[in-house]
Amino acid sequence: MCGIIGYCGPRRAAPLLIEGLRRMEYRGYDSAGICLGAPGGLALIKTAGKVKALAEKVPADLEGNCGIGHTRWATHGLVNEQNAHPHTDIQKRFALVHNGIIENYLSLKQELQAEGFVFQSETDSEVLVALLTGLYRGDLEKAVKEALGRVEGTYGLACLCIDEPGLIVGARNGSPLVVGIGDGEMFLASDYNAMIAHTRQVVYCEDGEVITLTASGFRTTDLANRRIEKSIDHIDGTGAEAEKAGFPTFMEKEICEQPESVDRAMRGRLSRETGSAVLGGLNMSARELRSVGRIRILSAGTSYYAALAACYMIESLARIPSTAELASEVRYANPLVEPDTLFFVISQSGETADTLFALRELKRKGARVLGVCNVVGSTIAREADGGIYIHAGPEIAVASTKAFTSTLTAFLLFALSMARSRDLSLKAGLALIDELSAVPGKIQSLLDRRQDLDLLAQKYLWAGNFLYLGRGINYPLALEGALKLKEISYIHAEGTSSAEMKHGPIALINESFPTVMILPQDSLRGKNISNLKEIKARQGKVIALATAGDEEISSLADDVFFIPPAEELLNPLLAAVPLQLFAYYLARRLGRNVDQPRNLAKSVTVE
């Protein structure tokens, strides 16, 4: 969600700050601003709206080689220039940007108002500025530490003081920060993508750390002023992956990258010699894996629907009881941790607050927790006991697409590995490897027909509601298909099990409430056809995703999009693609901003 960028060095800061904010636009935001130490004092420029509007307000000749910038996703206060970051005191001695939530801000604000501080915004973040003004005695780092000692909540922050030019102080607790080390210059950001064009040398900040930067270097301490030695990591990539590469939107690009992203998730991990998968990052011995008696998968949003499908895969192949749970619920449920239970947490960004806090609660209780992440070096990837990188590549659009299918692929590999260590035969393992290896080509065949889905979307532009139905492993796909449609088109959609339709949702069915049915040739096809006929008996329109060659479906449904034949457990990898494209084309035809849909953020780092 909110993005932070800071710069200290010999170059003019303003263009670098704007560039960094642009590289973080995918995270979702509603206002933006920068502040830098310029001749004569702090130069503060901010606006409600997009970074483009901010850039137009920044003078081309604005001086200053040390500054901070921010994109805000509103939590406290309306979306307006007044509430945009950076925040300053009235005298403009201090400037601060903040990600996270200060939970005790109201009591602090009342106390500070009684002492005479005049607040200029409705935000919780401004209390940090007010604390700094009262605590500052010529040492910004010390004042930041004292201020943070009084707050409760989460933060990733960066601040400046006019009395200490060329200095940025940052701190982290529950919201990511990373230092970038350049040649005679330093960067600070909430996302290394913000500075990847200028440096590949980064230092990840941990909770409880305070970072002090100048152009010549940085130092890290804790709130008790103890020095912390940090290691430097190298980031691969050039940043070109975060460009549209000729596509009109990032979302379409990422949908169309799925043949490659699914292939990357499998590459080097399939063994025909053993008929199994090799997942070295689990950090568990074969004996430990065989002793697992139950699996619980924690996640949120799209990752939760991937977890639901993963449970079907694991139970079907490995015969291990598995459950998917919302991370936000587990954290506060005083979760039971049994000795033979293996936990997974899923987060594309590796920074999802609900999931990260659930991981920490489980680890406090002695659980073994593995992470499934896309972003190398993310907090969850570092704090988990082991895990699987899905290798989807940068996902810039807010609505997840390729990370969803890559996560499904990763869990199929895990399920195959666990199954082969138990009861699955070599022959069955090799057959599944053959099926998996064919998936990227099958996805490409779907993408080659994506204009058919554009025409289908055009046909249903009149619909204000959709019902999505699936059964078995395709039930999570119905939930995910409905989520994609509401996320980017703002059309109401609800997903449910086909079997549950008769227990309530059937009351919604009429000629103006179309249903999308995931109806491949699998063990539940006959049951699904019965549900389809129940809808048609009530004048409902049906769009079916069916297996190629299933002509009976063509005679029953109003519209059909065919997917290639596949082993039953692999159908979600194929069905996901037309569901994504249908939502995408509907949203585009309605004029929506599919990459940055309203009110949403890519990396949800607040509870």
Tokens of 339: 């000795």
Q: Residue range 301-319: average pLDDT? A: 97
- pLDDT for the residue numbered 606: 55
- pLDDT for the residue numbered 78: 86
Query: In this structure, are strands 386-389 and 341-347 parallel, antiparallel, or unpaired?
Result: unpaired
- pLDDT for the residue numbered 591: 96
Per residue in 327-367, pLDDT (tens digit) is 999 988 888 999 999 999 999 989 888 999 999 999 999 99
What is the per-residue DSSP string for 407-429? HHHHHHHHHHHHHHTTT--HHHH
Nearest partner of 251 among 577, 572, 4, judged by Cα:
577
Asked if 442 and 257 count as a contact pair (C-beta separation under 8 A), the reply is: no
- Check the CA dihedral 453-458-462-464 and report its sign: positive
Confidence of residue 605 (pLDDT cuts 50, 70, 90): low
Q: Residue range 100-107: average pLDDT? A: 91
Q: Residue range 76-88: average pLDDT? A: 90
Q: Residue range 482-487: average pLDDT? A: 97
Per residue in 218-231, pLDDT (tens digit) is 999 999 999 999 99
Tokens 């935000």 identify what position? 123
CATH 3.60.20.10 domain locations along the chain:
3-241
Per residue in 399-422, pLDDT (tens digit) is 999 999 999 999 999 999 999 999
Asked if 274 and 241 count as a contact pair (C-beta separation under 8 A), the reply is: no
- pLDDT for the residue numbered 602: 67
The question of whether 2 is a catalytic residue gets the answer: yes
Alpha-carbon distance of 364 to 358, in angstroms, equals 10
Share of the chain above pLDDT 70, in %: 98
Count of alpha carbons within 13 Å of 527, Cβ hemisphere only? 13
**With 70 as the cut, is the pLDDT of residue 207 above it?**
yes
Per residue in 561-582, pLDDT (tens digit) is 999 999 999 999 999 999 999 9
Confidence of residue 240 (pLDDT cuts 50, 70, 90): low
CATH 3.40.50.10490 domain locations along the chain:
245-441, 449-594
**Which stretch of DSSP H or E encloses residue 203?**
strand 201-204
Q: Which fold has domain 3-241?
A: Glutamine Phosphoribosylpyrophosphate, subunit 1, domain 1 (3.60.20)
- pLDDT for the residue numbered 458: 97
**With 90 as the cut, is the pLDDT of residue 54 above it?**
yes
Per residue in 592-604, pLDDT (tens digit) is 999 989 888 766 6
Q: Residue range 261-282: average pLDDT? A: 95
Q: Residue range 197-226: average pLDDT? A: 94
**Which stretch of DSSP H or E encloses residue 155?**
strand 155-161
- pLDDT for the residue numbered 369: 97
Confidence of residue 455 (pLDDT cuts 50, 70, 90): very high
- pLDDT for the residue numbered 332: 86
- pLDDT for the residue numbered 193: 85
Alpha-carbon distance of 113 to 116, in angstroms, equals 5
- Single out the catalytic residue among 2, 161, 205, 256: 2
**With 90 as the cut, is the pLDDT of residue 470 above it?**
yes
**With 90 as the cut, is the pLDDT of residue 462 above it?**
yes
- pLDDT for the residue numbered 603: 63
Q: Which fold has domain 449-594?
A: Rossmann fold (3.40.50)
- pLDDT for the residue numbered 239: 55
Superfamily of segment(s) 245-441: Glucose-6-phosphate isomerase like protein; domain 1 (3.40.50.10490)
- Single out the catalytic residue among 145, 484, 541, 602: 602
Residues 302-338 as b/e (b if ≥16 CB within 10 A, e otherwise) read bbbbbbbbbbbbbbebbebebebbbbbebbeeebebe
Q: Residue range 522-536: average pLDDT? A: 91
- Looking at per-residue pLDDT, the higher value among 410 and 242 belongs to 410
Q: Residue range 96-112: average pLDDT? A: 93
- pLDDT for the residue numbered 446: 98
Q: Residue range 495-507: average pLDDT? A: 92
Q: Residue 6 forms beta bridges with which residues?
A: 68, 188
Confidence of residue 241 (pLDDT cuts 50, 70, 90): low
**Average per-residue pLDDT for the chain:** 93
Confidence of residue 487 (pLDDT cuts 50, 70, 90): very high
Nearest partner of 443 among 575, 302, 249, 307, judged by Cα:
575
Alpha-carbon distance of 292 to 305, in angstroms, equals 23
- pLDDT for the residue numbered 607: 56
Q: Residue range 97-114: average pLDDT? A: 92
The question of whether 311 is a catalytic residue gets the answer: no
